[in-house]
Amino acid sequence: MCFGFLGLQFAFGLQNANVSRIFQTLGANVDEIPALWIAAPFTGLLVQPLVGYWSDRTWGRFGRRRPYFMTGAVLAALALILMPLSPALWVAAVLLWLLDASINISMEPFRAFVGDQLPPSQRAAGYGQQSFFIGLGAVLSGLMPWLLERFGVSNHGMSANGHAVVTDTVRYSFLIGAAVMVAAVGWTVLRTREYSPAQRAGFARAAGEEVEDIGEGAPRGATTASPGVAAGSLLPTLAWLVAGSVLIAVVAHYQDRYKLDKQLYLLGAGALGWGLALLAWRTLRPRGMFGAIMADMHAMPRAMRRLVPVQMFSWVALFAMWLYTTAAVTQVHFHSSDPSSDAYNEGATWVSVLFGAYNGFAALAALAIPMVTRRIGLRATHSINLLIGAAGFFSITLIHDHYWLLASMVAVGIAWASILSLPYALLSDSVPSGKMGLYMGIFNFFIVIPQLLAASALGFVLKALFGGKPIMALTIGGACFVIAALFALRVPQPDSSE
């Protein structure tokens, strides 16, 4: 059931560790990287709830979630093959969009798959197994360029005519990643079965959930929006509209005077877009997909609301790491910012090793975390793990020997394992079975939105406050982990975990 996550994370790990490197090789400056990455979170924001909504309503000879698994895997493999061959920066940015969209097509149904197949008492273990395979896949992807170099594959980033090029170690790693993606996801598709709508309705009745008869016996909420959900006050809608409009106007008026980053337009556009969505929902009260998503967001369970700031701050920290670790380590520990130099490519390859290391430590931590939760509970465990991750981030700025950065990755890996499992365990009991896909998609908003915030504002903050030093992004990430740890203590805990 969870083996497909090996392929998903292999692809995701290659993306996180190497795409910034590819962008810099194709001529991007460090402060341009967040804008180029913006395609990834925007894609997730759109794709995840749509795929969740549609997969809740899918049933055919190939099942409910599995058609999405395979479709996403094939498209992601195509993007992995093409990205290192990009002839220009804009081509690589488009392929990042395709890669991230494809991974999301597979990943969101995989999250719902555990909820579909397992009873509440086993879901924490199920998400823990996902974390294990996520860690294993990321270890392999992180080590791949380093291993290929040890087997004699070239890691030189300079062509014969003196231009920077994507190294052979990266190109071959992406080809291997494409094969692993299709093989691992294909194994899950072929070796698992899914419960029919009638069977799931029976499980829902046994669990005390209300079931709506729609001909197949699907649980309530499989085809309609939540009934009777009030739209609430108009004030939040107006606040979002005003905030978005004001931010766009301020950036447009003062951009040249104060050298404001154009990426701040994205924050204003996001706030304005959300305000317009709320306005349309309030005034038109639409049915169908848009109405269902908006209504269920408005009526999200209390546990989910309390998890929002935890996820927001956690993923700002993670996105800061993925965006800036390559630039930080190559600049501070390998003393090079030139993508064509051997020192830079040695440092970038070492970052791949570090990313593989923290995922390896996460795989081990995923096996131990359930034992800790049984002693001190889900909330306390998650809070402590986030504080450990914060210590790992802070230590990167203090360590001068790049080999000792592996110690920092131990702490980051513990936090990563916790982020991949415990929020879902805290949430699982409060989500209706008939809307598992939709709610997992909505929950992923609070992974994607902080990525948008980081991509649009982090570069500006670094330039304005820290002289553009990429290492300071990791300090900001550590502070975000501390804040997330404090918010985690406010999340209600399922009775079964006490």
- Give residue 495's pLDDT: 59
Q: At 212, is the pLDDT very low, low, confident or very high (cuts 50, 70, 90)? A: very low
CA distances from 319 to 29, 180, 425, 451, 457 (A): 18, 24, 22, 6, 12
Give me the torsion for CA of 118, 121, 122, 126, rounded to 10°. Answer: 90
| pLDDT, tens digit (0-9, with 9 covering 90-100), for 98-154 | 998 898 888 878 877 876 777 766 776 777 778 788 878 878 887 888 889 889 888
Contact 354, 139 (CB under 8 A): no
Closest CA to 334 of 326, 342, 343: 343
| pLDDT, tens digit (0-9, with 9 covering 90-100), for 365-413 | 988 888 888 888 889 999 999 999 999 999 998 998 899 999 999 999 9
| pLDDT, tens digit (0-9, with 9 covering 90-100), for 35-85 | 677 766 677 777 878 887 888 777 777 887 888 889 999 999 999 999 999
Contact 400, 481 (CB under 8 A): no
Closest CA to 419 of 321, 327, 349: 321
Residue 96: Cβ within 10 Å count: 23
- Give residue 229's pLDDT: 46
How large is the angle between the packed helices 405-428 and 302-332, nearest 10 degrees? Answer: 170
Q: Quick one: 43 exposed, middle or buried, by C-beta within 10 A (0-12, 13-18, 19+)?
A: buried
All residues at 6 or more sequence positions from 143 whose CB lies less than 8 Å from its CB, including other chains: 352, 353, 356
Residue with tokens 């273990």: 125
What size, in residues, is the chain?
498
- Give residue 63's pLDDT: 80
- Over residues 192-221, the mean pLDDT reads 58
Angle at 170 between CA 167 and CA 171, to 5 degrees: 85
Residue 207: Cβ within 10 Å count: 13
Contact 111, 4 (CB under 8 A): no
| pLDDT, tens digit (0-9, with 9 covering 90-100), for 457-478 | 787 788 888 888 889 999 999 9
d(CA 177, CA 181): 6
| pLDDT, tens digit (0-9, with 9 covering 90-100), for 271-327 | 898 889 888 888 877 777 788 788 878 878 888 889 999 999 999 999 899 889 988
Contact 200, 63 (CB under 8 A): no
Contact 421, 229 (CB under 8 A): no
Burial code (b: 16+ CB inside 10 Å, e: under 16) for 473-494 equals: bbbbbbbbbbbbbebbeebbbb
- Over residues 200-214, the mean pLDDT reads 57
What would the two tokens of residue 50 be? Answer: 């749509």
- Give residue 97's pLDDT: 86
Handedness of CA 337, 338, 340, 343 (dihedral sign): negative
- Give residue 130's pLDDT: 80
- Write a three-state SS string for 361-412: HHHHHHHHHHHHHHHHCHHHHHHHHHHHHHHHHHHHCCCCCHHHHHHHHHHH
Most confident listed range (17-26, 34-43, 443-452)? 17-26
Q: Quick one: 52 exposed, middle or buried, by C-beta within 10 A (0-12, 13-18, 19+)?
A: buried
Q: Rg of the chain over CA atoms, in angstroms?
A: 22
- Give residue 290's pLDDT: 81
d(CA 421, CA 425): 6
Residue type, 407: A
CA distances from 239 to 220, 229, 279, 294, 404 (A): 33, 21, 11, 17, 47
